[in-house]
Structure 1
Amino acid sequence: MRLPAFAPHLLLASCVAIGHSFVHADEASPQTPTQWEVTELRFQVDSLADNPVDTPFSATFESESGQAISIPGFYDGDQTYCIRFTPSAAGKWTYTTASTTNALNNQSGKLTVSPATDERRGGIELDPDNDRQFQFQNGDRYYPIAFECDWLFALDAENANDIPKTRQFVDTLAENGFNQVVLNVFAYDVKWAKDDRLDTKYEYGSPKVYPFAGDNESPDHSKLNIEYFQRLDRVIEYLDQKGIAAHLMVYVWNKRVNWPEANSDADNRYFDYVVRRYQAYPNLIWDISKEALGYGHNDVTYIHGRIKRLRELDAYQRLITVHDYGYCRRFADKIDFVSVQLWQSELYHVMREVCKNIPGKPILNIEHGGYEKGPYVVFNGNYTSPEVCLERSYQCVFAGTFPTHYWQGAAWNVIVPDVTELAPADRPRLEYYRHLQTLVEKYDLGNLIAGDKRSNAGFCLHNGKGQVLYYVPKENDFLGLRLPSEVRGQTMSLTWFNPFDGTFSETTQQKIEQWPAVKVPGGDGFRILILNHPVASE
Structure 2
Amino acid sequence: MVKCIPNIALLFTCPFFAFSVLFLPMICPVIVQGSETVRVADGGSLSVRQWDVIDLRFRGDEAQVRELANPVDVDLVATFQDEAGTRLSVDGFYNDGCEYIVRFTPPSSGQWSYETESSMSSLDGKTGTLVVESPQVGRRGGIVVDAKEKTRFQYESGDSYYPIAFECDWLFALDAGNESDIPVTRQFVDTLAENGFNQVVMNVFAYDVNWKKDERLTADHDYGSPSVFPFGGTNEDPDFSRLNIDYFKRLDRVIEYLDQKDIVAHLMIYVWNKRVNWPEADSEADNRYFDYVARRYQAYPNLVWDISKEALGYGHNDVGYISQRIERLREHDAYDRLVTVHDYSYCRRFVDKVDFVSVQLWSSELYGVMRKVRSDMPGKPILNIEHGGYERGPYVVFNGNYTSPEVCLERSYQCVFAGTYTTHYWQGAAWNAIIADIESLPAKVRPRLDYYRHMRTLADRFQFDQLIAGDKKSNAGFCLHDGKGKLIYYVPRECDFLGLRLKEFQGRTMSITWFNPRSGEYTESESQKIAQWPAVEVPSSDGFQVLIVQIQ
Matched, 1:7 2:25: no
Amino acid at match of 1:105: D
Q: Distance in 2 between matches of 1:465 and 1:376?
A: 47
Aligned residue pairs total 529
Contact 2:14 2:52 in 1 (8 A): no
1:286 deviates by 0.1
1:249 aligns with 2:268: yes
> How far apart are 1:501 and its partner, in Å?
1.3
Shift of 1:16: 5.1
Offset at 1:28?
6.7
Q: Deviations over 1:429-476 (max 9, x none)?
A: 001111111111111100100000010100000000011100001111
Distance 2:505 2:332 in 1: 56
> Could you tell me which of 522, 537, 542 is aligned with 1:504?
522
Please tell me the residue identity of whatever aligns with 1:14: F
Confirm whether residue 211 of structure 1 aligns to residue 210 of structure 2: no
Distance 1:438 1:251 in 2: 33
1:166 partner SS: helix
The answer to whether the Cα contact below 8 Å between 1:19 and 1:234 also exists between their aligned partners in 2 is no
Q: Is the 8 A contact 1:393 1:405 kept in 2?
A: yes
Instruction: Show CA shifts across 1:85-127 (max 9, x none).
Output: 1001111110000001110111101111111011110000000
Counterpart of 1:312? 331
Question: CA offsets, 1:204-237, max 9 Å, x none?
Answer: 0000000000000000001000000000000000
**Residue type of the partner of 2:424?**
H
Distance, in Å, in 2 between the alignment partners of 1:190 and 1:6 is 39
1:202 counterpart residue number: 221
C-alpha distance in 1, partners of 2:22/2:493? 59
Picking from 354, 367, 389, the partner of 2:373 is 354
Letter in 1 for 2:9: L
1:57 aligns with 2:76: yes
1:261-292 CA-partner distances (Å, limit 9, x unpaired): 00000000000000000000000100000010
Is 1:171 paired with 2:190?
yes
| Post-superposition offset of 1:495 | 0.9
Q: 1:365 aligns with which of 380, 384, 393?
A: 384
Q: Which amino acid aligns with 1:21?
A: S
Q: State the 1:6 CA deviation.
A: 4.9
- Aligned partners of 2:289, 2:234: CA distance in 1, in Å? 15
2:48 maps to 33
Residue 378 of structure 1 and its aligned partner are, at CA, apart by: 0.2
1:432 counterpart SS class? helix
Match of residue 155 from structure 1: 174
Structure 1's 217 and 293: CA in aligned 2 closer, same or farther, altered over 3 A?
same
Query: In the alignment, what sits opposite 1:517?
Result: 535
Structure 2 match to 1:110: 129
1:23 aligned to 2:22?
A: yes
Q: How does 1:429-508 map to 2 (within 5 A)?
A: 429-484=448-503, 486-508=504-526
**Given the two structures, how large is their TM-score scaled by the length of structure 2?**
0.94
2:59 equivalent to 1:44: yes
**1:327 positional shift:** 0.3
Gaps of 5+ in 1: none
Q: Which one of the candidate residues 354, 357, 367 is aligned to 1:338?
A: 357
Match of 1:328, as an amino acid? C
How far did residue 22 of structure 1 move?
3.7
Q: Is the 8 A contact 1:55 1:101 kept in 2?
A: yes
CA distance in 1: counterparts of 2:120 and 2:239, whole angstroms:
26
TM-score, normalization by structure 1: 0.97
> What is the identity, as a one-letter code, of the residue corresponding to 1:522?
S
1:232 matched residue in structure 2: 251
CA distance in 1, matches of 2:510, 2:239: 69
- 1:154-185, Cα deviation, whole Å (9 max, x unpaired): 00000001000000000000000000000000
